[in-house]
Amino acid sequence: MFNIVLFGPPGAGKGTQAVKLAVAYNLEHLSTGDILRAEMSKNSPLGQKVKNLIEKGELVPDETVISIIGEKLRNAGNVVGFIFDGFPRTVEQAKALDKMLADEALEIAVMITLEVEENELIERIRLRGESSGRTDDSDTSIIKNRIRVYNEQTATVADYYKNQGKYVPVSNMGTIDETFSLLASEIDRRLQIAIKS
Ligand code: AMP
């Protein structure tokens, strides 16, 4: 299996690129944000539990997202690999992911961070909010809070993967297709290494 973490601040383009990569490499796309929003629209007990935090731009508790991902991994069946989008967002989540994968004799092959300048992030999120209707994408103070939460609680996850030699930064200041090509060449290079070893 070839498992990828696609990392970066809110608005960096993780969702867009993860969907394209999932199609190109036949990977199962796991986005905790998408899963949580689906629970909110169903108004399920889980959706009700996380609604308030998501609408404020705060993180939901580690154990909530870890158990969501755990269930997805257990029920995945025969897949080529996973692309994790928006998870892990804390070092606790990263450790739990490693442990859950190790239990199945699996691991993360690479963690790719999409890099976008901060003032550009706010613009991109606001634009996305106009079409998606996401409340956490529409209000500037909530957008800024999400970027603050990223800087304070999530950015350090990069060090966790740097220590494992799996961290790869990729600029997403270009077009969607340009960034996709950069991502694909990083992945292709690692796939070649994985095949040879
Ligand atoms: P996203 O679509 O990835 O930007 O996620 C939207 C919101 O869902 C975030 O602002 C958090 O409130 C929540 N969320 C998604 N993934 C996680 C995660 N891995 N850990 C904690 N909260 C998360």
Query: pLDDT tens, 115-155?
Result: 999 889 999 999 999 988 888 898 999 999 999 999 999 99
189 part of a folded domain: no
106 part of a folded domain: yes
Q: Which of 31, 46, 54, 63 to mutate to test the pocket of ligand 1 (most atoms within 8 A of CB)?
A: 54
174 part of a folded domain: yes
Range of the domain at 49: 4-181
Residue 74 appears among annotated catalytic residues: no
Residue 84 phi, psi dihedral angles, 5° rounding: -90, 125
Pairing outcome for strands 108-115 and 167-171: parallel
Split into its structural domains, the chain has a count of: 1
Nearest CA-CA partner of 119 in 86, 154, 152, 147: 147
* Catalytic-labelled residue, pool 56, 134, 166, 190: 134
Is pLDDT larger for residue 152 or for residue 79?
152
31 part of a folded domain: yes
CATH number for the domain spanning 140: value is 3.40.50.300
195 part of a folded domain: no
pTM comes to: 0.96
187 part of a folded domain: no
192 part of a folded domain: no
